[in-house]
Amino acid sequence: MKHLKIGYLQQHNVADVKTNMQRLADGVRDLAKRGAELVVLQELHNSLYFCQVEDVDNFDLAEPIPGPSTDFYGALARECNVVIVTSLFERRAPGLYHNTAVVMERDGSIAGKYRKMHIPDDPAYYEKFYFTPGDLGFCPIQTSVGKLGVLVCWDQWYPEAARLMALQGAELLIYPTAIGYAASDTEDEQQRQREAWTTVQRGHAVANGLPVVSVNRVGFEPDPSKQTPGIEFWGSSMVVGPQGEMLYRSAPDAEDSVIVEVDLAHSEDVRRWWPFLRDRRIDMYGEIIKRFID
């Protein structure tokens, strides 16, 4: 049996980056004391979700990798003897930026990184203004706690991304996330969207026979441009088992710090019972690479 104690922090953010980072560090230390071996943080956790507006000054938030944040979270991982999944605004070169997840190993080194592949562009989610689509592929990151299929937010709607991680040996899928309600939507529509978001990730777990960890931010963040009422992030971070079972789900409106123990070896049992990978018709999927089939 391969049990892994997974911790995550569902937090609200403030405008001051140092305050956000310090609160995260305090949370990671607490989770480590409680026995966490792997800690997952939410998307772009160092700052407010700046993509609500298109503002060139926000590029000042970006930094190189390695850089100050990887130094900070690397030292924290080493201090706490945990693996940490971070989510950073990467400055790769002048004018070239990515939304990048970086995994810090227990010894403080960088185990690997993943650049977000699917980039949204919607009102209050103007990510195409900031981020170049990733070019590292869908490659799991090997760590001392297992092989992690790390993806980011908008990636979580795409079955192809989850499947490619699974086919390369990922032992669990991880999604740092920043998603919330549009104030203009009705309460019923808001709940349909939140439940769709939950359902699709449970589907990835079932289809691939893998646990899924999704960590969202929570709380209200105003739109600096005042063109929209802002975003109420819906929290609801979750850990899902390989049959889609909900192992834990946070509240939609409160911070949370939790540890969930997952049996990674159970995925082998599930894949024996439901041999989806065995029965794939790989000889018939060639057209999947087309944008649309006329």
Q: For residue range 199-218, what is the model confidence (pLDDT) as tens digits? A: 999 999 999 999 999 999 99
Count of other CB atoms within 10 angstroms of residue 108: 16
* Confidence bin at 34 (pLDDT 50/70/90): very high
Q: Which domain holds residue 34?
A: 3-289
Instruction: Tell whether 108 is covered by a domain.
Output: yes
Q: Is 287 a catalytic site residue?
A: no
* Confidence bin at 1 (pLDDT 50/70/90): low
Instruction: Tell whether 212 is covered by a domain.
Output: yes
Which of 127-131, 145-149, 205-209, 222-226 bottoms out in mean pLDDT, i.e. has the lowest?
Answer: 222-226
Main-chain phi, psi angles of 34, to 5 degrees: -85, 0
Q: What pLDDT does residue 184 have?
A: 86
Q: Strands, DSSP E only, in the chain?
A: 3-10, 38-40, 83-93, 96-104, 110-115, 141-143, 146-150, 172-177, 180-182, 212-216, 218-221, 231-234, 238-240, 246-249, 256-263
Range 232-263 burial, b when 16+ CB lie within 10 A, else e: bbbbbbbbbbbbbeebbbbebeebbbbbbebe
Rounded to two decimals, what is the model's pTM? 0.97
Q: Is 268 a catalytic site residue?
A: no
DSSP 58: G
Instruction: Tell whether 221 is covered by a domain.
Output: yes
Instruction: Tell whether 294 is covered by a domain.
Output: no
Q: What is the CATH number of the domain that holds 120?
A: 3.60.110.10
Distance CA 26, CA 83 (A): 15
Question: pLDDT at residue 10 above 60?
Answer: yes
Choosing from 37, 80, 153, 221, the catalytic residue is 153
Choosing from 5, 37, 43, 113, the catalytic residue is 43
Instruction: Tell whether 217 is covered by a domain.
Output: yes
Choosing from 116, 127, 171, 221, the catalytic residue is 116
Please state, for a pLDDT cut of 90, what percent of the chain lies above it.
Answer: 97
Please state, for a pLDDT cut of 70, what percent of the chain lies above it.
Answer: 100
Instruction: Tell whether 260 is covered by a domain.
Output: yes
Instruction: Tell whether 147 is covered by a domain.
Output: yes
Question: pLDDT at residue 284 above 70?
Answer: yes
Instruction: Tell whether 203 is covered by a domain.
Output: yes
Structural domains counted in the chain: 1
Residue bearing the bigger pLDDT, 228 or 73: 73
Q: Is 43 a catalytic site residue?
A: yes
Question: pLDDT at residue 244 above 90?
Answer: yes
